[in-house]
């Protein structure tokens, strides 16, 4: 059952960190150092050098495959903040997608 826990829009003080593609949809991960939260949103910075593909179908030129995620500090910080309860999702769909992704990351 879906619930509204961890659903929250990012604030203007959030700074773009990295993006990921999941089933042909791109999501941005934003860090708000002022509020101490990380947000997952449909907003992202185009042409980011840190664009991760999460499925084989999404893996294209200029993407990093999810399997390498733990090599990158941005993903380690994301998982650490998730475990601390500091990650927010802009809507339920993004939360569900992110939860699937987090389950994969925890088993890598």
pLDDT single digits (tens) 39-54: 999 999 999 989 998 8
Find the mean pLDDT for residues 64-73. 79
Q: Give dist(CA 105, CA 2) in Å, integer.
A: 21
The reported pLDDT for the residue numbered 31 is 98
Residue 101 counted as domain residue: yes
Q: Is residue 66 pLDDT above 80, yes or no?
A: no
The residue range of the domain holding 45 is 15-107
Residue 10 counted as domain residue: no
Q: Give dist(CA 24, CA 38) in Å, integer.
A: 22
Find the mean pLDDT for residues 74-86. 94
Q: Is the pTM of this model over 0.85?
A: yes
Q: Give dist(CA 84, CA 89) in Å, integer.
A: 15
Could you give the number of structural domains in the chain?
A: 1
Residue 88 counted as domain residue: yes
Residue 97 counted as domain residue: yes
Residue 82 counted as domain residue: yes
The residue ranking higher by pLDDT, 105 or 53, is 53
Share the mean pLDDT of the chain.
Answer: 90
Residue 30 counted as domain residue: yes
């Amino acid at each position: 059952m879906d619930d509204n826990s961890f659903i929250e829009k990012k604030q203007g003080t959030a700074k773009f960190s990295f993006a990921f593609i999941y089933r042909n949809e791109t999501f941005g991960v934003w860090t708000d150092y002022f509020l101490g939260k990380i947000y997952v949103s449909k907003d992202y910075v185009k042409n980011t050098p840190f664009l991760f593909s999460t499925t084989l179908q999404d893996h294209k030129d200029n993407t990093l495959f999810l399997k390498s995620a733990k090599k990158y500090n941005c993903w380690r910080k994301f998982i650490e903040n998730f475990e601390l309860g500091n990650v927010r999702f802009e809507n339920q769909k993004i939360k569900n997608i992110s939860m699937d992704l987090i389950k994969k990351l925890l088993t890598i």
